[in-house]
Amino acid sequence: MNTILEQTFSVPFRYPVCFTEDLFDPENTILADVLRGERVPKVLFVIDSGVSDTHPELINQVKSYADKYKDTFTLPAEPIVVIGGEACKNDETLYQKIVEATHLYGIDRHSYIAVIGGGAVLDMVGFAAAISHRGIRLIRIPTTVLSQNDSAVGVKNSINAFGKKNYLGTFTPPNAVLNDFNFLKTLDDRDWRAGISEAIKVALIKDLSFFEWLEQNSEALARREMAPMKEHIIRSAKMHMDHISGKDPFEFGSSRPLDFGHWAAHKLEKLSNFRIRHGEAVAIGIALDSTYSFLQRRISEADLNRIIQVMKTLGFELFAPELQGESLIQGLKEFQEHLGGQLTIMLLEKLGKGIEVHEMDEELIHRSVALLQSFQEKGNLIPS
């Protein structure tokens, strides 16, 4: 006799994504409001070294803010400073350092870890928080364009392993995301530009009007004007959030539409030994898959020209030598392996609308790479 018991339940998740300036100004109550509750929790801060180096007053600002709101939360230890960039996801001793700190300072499930930094540090610290006590509350304070308009608002945390990007990770929503626009003012031009690629991505597959807005404001964004930067971040973040609230936020299926351009980008980062930053690789991946869509006659020459022109105006490179050869094709296999199931790649049906395909023509991929090389070296677009 067989006995089968079945249980079904759902768990709602809710968290605020806030946009502000001068987050640690004692008169700014956003952080205190997020932490305020029946208890006075401990908050362990972890800070990206690139951010603390650029903002040497930051640690003292955090301490002063905590002192002002000592009836709301406490600091159990000095903020922990860790190296930023992809290196922090490649060094397993760093996430282990955060896990050890939760043990040493009694950071429990009613405490918080607040992480300040770029997307890689947020990924790594989020992973450490998720596996400690089966989940410590996490507050993300992203400091780059890419993390504010895309990665920080999502539910993923990860580190790299076995030479593969994001091999170890969790789907664990944060308790809050607090975006301080002032951190963007000290970014170098590469990091200012790189994150915009994620907005181009989501606009191309979901919202023609947003892509048209990016076209119209590309020169202003390239000039580092703050007003369009703020607007684009808020619009992009909302579109990413709307997608997360859809049918598959934890990616149980093989479809991952928000990874348009990413199958090549992830491989390109690795092939370049991370010389190419994530947002830069995404820009090249978008250009590659847009060109592939053109060669498949899904979009017109005029459409492709518009995409390439926006990239050029913003200052993106469209080609890298690592795209050549067979190593890039391996990225397709790794992308499928990461998701499991059927290969599913997002291409363009038209500007503002993506379409999923389940196979890619290797010859067309190589032709797309050759066209990107021509765009980059000759400086001209496909003639309309």
Between CA 197 and CA 203 the distance in angstroms is 10
Between CA 346 and CA 355 the distance in angstroms is 6
Q: Looking at the predicted structure, is the pLDDT value of residue 383 above 70?
A: no
Mean pLDDT of 269-282: 93
- Give residue 179's pLDDT: 98
Neighbouring-strand partners of residue 179: 19
Mean pLDDT of 134-147: 97
Tell me, yes or no, whether 203 and 287 share the same domain: yes
Question: SS3 for 312-350, per residue?
Answer: HHHCCCCCCHHHCCCHHHHHHHHHHHHHCCCCCEEEEEE
- Give residue 384's pLDDT: 45
- Give residue 5's pLDDT: 94
Tell me, yes or no, whether 33 and 106 share the same domain: yes
Neighbouring-strand partners of residue 80: 46
Tell me, yes or no, whether 33 and 148 share the same domain: yes
Between CA 308 and CA 372 the distance in angstroms is 9
Assigned domain for 63 exists? yes
For 161, phi then psi, to 5°, come to: -160, 150
Between CA 274 and CA 277 the distance in angstroms is 6
Mean pLDDT of 93-99: 97
- Give residue 254's pLDDT: 46
Q: Looking at the predicted structure, is the pLDDT value of residue 153 above 70?
A: yes
- Give residue 255's pLDDT: 53
Q: Looking at the predicted structure, is the pLDDT value of residue 251 above 70?
A: no
The two tokens of residue 236 are 């992009």
Mean pLDDT of 164-184: 95
Q: Looking at the predicted structure, is the pLDDT value of residue 310 above 70?
A: yes
Which amino acid is residue 40, in one-letter code?
V
Tell me, yes or no, whether 62 and 106 share the same domain: yes
Assigned domain for 10 exists? no
Assigned domain for 8 exists? no
- Give residue 195's pLDDT: 95
pLDDT band for position 245 (cuts 50, 70, 90)? confident
Sign of the torsion formed by the C-alpha atoms of 131, 132, 136 and 138: negative
**Is-contact 163 338, C-beta < 8 A?**
no
Q: What residues make up the domain containing 340?
A: 189-237+253-378
In the chain, pLDDT over 70 holds for what percent of residues?
95
- Give residue 366's pLDDT: 94
Mean pLDDT of 239-256: 70
Mean pLDDT of 73-84: 97
Assigned domain for 2 exists? no
Q: Looking at the predicted structure, is the pLDDT value of residue 340 above 70?
A: yes
Mean pLDDT of 267-280: 92
Tell me, yes or no, whether 178 and 80 share the same domain: yes
Tell me, yes or no, whether 180 and 39 share the same domain: yes
Tell me, yes or no, whether 213 and 121 share the same domain: no
Tell me, yes or no, whether 105 and 46 share the same domain: yes
- Give residue 381's pLDDT: 58
**Is-contact 190 222, C-beta < 8 A?**
no
Q: Looking at the predicted structure, is the pLDDT value of residue 272 above 80?
A: yes
Of 155, 171, 186, the residue that ends a domain is 186
Between CA 45 and CA 42 the distance in angstroms is 10
Assigned domain for 243 exists? no
How many Cβ atoms are within 10 Å of 208's Cβ, its own excluded?
13
Give me the residue label for tokens 């806030």: 18
- Give residue 375's pLDDT: 87
Between CA 108 and CA 117 the distance in angstroms is 22
CATH number at residue 48: 3.40.50.1970
Between CA 102 and CA 113 the distance in angstroms is 9
Domain count, the chain: 2
Assigned domain for 35 exists? yes
Q: Looking at the predicted structure, is the pLDDT value of residue 350 above 80?
A: yes
pLDDT band for position 380 (cuts 50, 70, 90)? low
Tell me, yes or no, whether 204 and 323 share the same domain: yes
Tell me, yes or no, whether 163 and 265 share the same domain: no
CATH number at residue 331: 1.20.1090.10
Tell me, yes or no, whether 213 and 318 share the same domain: yes
Tell me, yes or no, whether 146 and 206 share the same domain: no
Assigned domain for 213 exists? yes
Q: Tens digits of per-residue pLDDT, 46-55?
A: 999 999 999 9
